[in-house]
Amino acid sequence: MLHTIFLYAAAGMSCAACLAHILVGTAKNAAPILNNLSLEEGPRTTMTFSWESNSILMMFMAVGFLLGAVKRDASLVYFVTALSICLAVWGVIVALRLSHNPMTFPPAILFLVIAVFGAVGATAPA
């Protein structure tokens, strides 16, 4: 049995993270790199692909949680939750490697919240 309210929360948080990534992150983080004409074309193209791929990934995560809740598909919920956990852990690692506090690094926080909602949503009610 799934706790669908938490899966809807995970889907909503994934949507919110995607919107923040596109609307805020693109202007604040990606644009300075993408518009830096002193960088070679290869790294700029790769950065563009990577940035937009992450937007697509977050949209599909939201759809995965939503479909998991609607269709009561535990395997889909487990898969998307595992992906969220991996991304949360990677966010913490990246922050620590750069000597940042992981709890002030938006990707680490957002994917952690999504992972918690997904994990709670994947558990059977008591």
C-alpha 59/C-alpha 100 separation (Å) is 27
Please tell me the pTM assigned to this model. 0.89
pLDDT, residue 36, reads 87
- Give 104-117 pLDDT, tens digit per residue: 999 999 999 999 99
pLDDT, residue 68, reads 95
Residues with Cβ within 8 Å of 43's Cβ and at least 6 positions away in sequence, in order, are: none
**Domain residue ranges in the chain:** 4-121
Q: What are phi and psi of 123, to 5 degrees?
A: -90, 155
- Give 10-67 pLDDT, tens digit per residue: 999 999 999 999 999 888 988 888 888 898 989 888 988 999 999 999 999 999 999 9
Mean pLDDT of the chain: 93
